[in-house]
Chains A and B, each alone.
Chain A
């Protein structure tokens, strides 16, 4: 379809005109980054991440006729997903650091190769260390390190100045280094 050649704003214009296929193309284009972001913000809960991202797309669809965005559509989506993640975290009654899908990865059987066990343990340590970061720092770190967005893009998505992005990233990396070093020493 011609939707392939449209940028996000073009797809939104078509969606505003009632073309749901254009919106479908936008969802297909942007959903994976949003899910990865939400998933890591929520500590690896892919079910909640999918809920949050789907809700953000539905919200965008509902306001398609009046949608006016000075930045990019993706910034709007990231900002909305971020807010929904924060709501989700506030509403959780269970402890985030204990609710993770780690059992399948964290308790390998005896036949598992040592290298895989090591990688899985390290992955779990990274997840826990990131989840212990303040939410505002976690969001910056995820978008910067995992999604490789620029400071300007992160600033637009999180609605903070680029200088704040830089300082939060720096603090987050320093905290992570300390946490991971402590984890390594404790093994």
Chain B
């Protein structure tokens, strides 16, 4: 066989044949059940989102507590304000 010839190559590749079946009954049967599955998926998703919201609330509470604790340690106003840049070279006016 001359595989450099595109027609012959096509003919050679054509030797591998595959069969198909009619999937309509199977798909039809499957989609009858899909609304139930969709509802179950939605319920699971809602449950996961609720869980996530609860965890976020807990994280926010921890952060708020940490913030309050840190502020408690800072005695002066200057200590409580976090500078956006190094302040060594700045001139204090007051």
Contacts and interface: CB of A to CB of B under 8 A. Distances in A.
B27 A40 contact: no
A57 B23 contact: yes
Contacts of B21: 35, 46, 50
Nearest to A23: B31
A119 B12 contact: no
A123 B17 contact: yes
Contacts of B38: 62
A145 interface: yes
A31 interface: yes
A177 B27 contact: no
A46 B94 CA distance: 84
B13 A145 contact: yes
A58 interface: yes
What interface size band does chain B fall in?
Answer: 20 to 34
Given A23-B31, A180-B3, A126 B15 contact: yes
B40 to A, nearest CB: 12
Nearest to B6: A173
Contacts of A180: 1, 3, 12
A35 B23 contact: yes
B23 A119 contact: no
A86 interface: no
26 contacts: A20-B28, A23-B27, A23-B31, A27-B23, A31-B20, A31-B22, A32-B20, A35-B20, A35-B23, A39-B20, A46-B19, A46-B21, A54-B30, A58-B27, A58-B30, A58-B31, A62-B38, A119-B15, A122-B15, A123-B16, A123-B17, A126-B12, A145-B13, A173-B9, A176-B3, A180-B12
Given A27-B28, A35-B18, A46-B20, 4 more contacts: A27-B23, A54-B27, A58-B34, A124-B16
Interface of A: 20, 23-24, 27-28, 31-32, 35-36, 39-40, 44, 46, 49-50, 53-54, 57-58, 61-62, 119, 122-124, 126-127, 130, 145-146, 173, 176-177, 180-181, 184
